[in-house]
């Protein structure tokens, strides 16, 4: 459970009955409270969204492989694996200029 000292902002949202019921059900199955479950789901969704944006930017040649991995906040190797999972060709010419970071990332 996240420490209440770390939580700084309160947001209010309106949810449908079906969404509310889903939250109650899944929180209960995971044996956590609803607020914690919602925070967990938002965090996962934001991580996924960062990865989607980074993949799109890489595909459009807006970012190098290492820059896209950095934007997605995952290692170079993890990002490359995401590309492979999605059958996206990797261009090793787009490794970028940060070779030292690349070496560190590939060791992880």
Average pLDDT of span 72-91: 91
Residue ranges per domain, the chain? Answer: 17-107
| CB 50, CB 73: distance < 8 Å | yes
| Helix ranges restricted to H, the chain | 17-29, 34-59, 65-72, 76-85, 99-107
Least confident interval from 8-12, 55-59, 90-94, 97-101: 97-101
| CB 96, CB 64: distance < 8 Å | yes
The long-range contacts involving 25-34, CB below 8 angstroms and separated by at least 24 positions, are 32/1
Average pLDDT of span 18-37: 97
């Amino acid at each position: 459970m996240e420490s209440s000292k770390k939580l700084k902002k309160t947001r209010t949202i309106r949810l449908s009955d079906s969404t509310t019921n889903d939250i109650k059900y899944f929180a209960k199955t995971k044996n956590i409270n609803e607020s914690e479950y919602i925070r967990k789901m938002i965090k996962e969704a934001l991580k996924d969204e960062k990865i989607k944006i980074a993949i799109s930017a890489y595909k459009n040649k807006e970012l190098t492989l290492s820059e896209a991995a950095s934007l997605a906040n995952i290692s170079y190797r993890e990002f490359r694996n995401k590309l492979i999972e999605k059958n996206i060709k990797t261009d090793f010419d787009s490794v970028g200029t940060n070779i030292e970071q690349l070496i560190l990332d590939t060791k992880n």
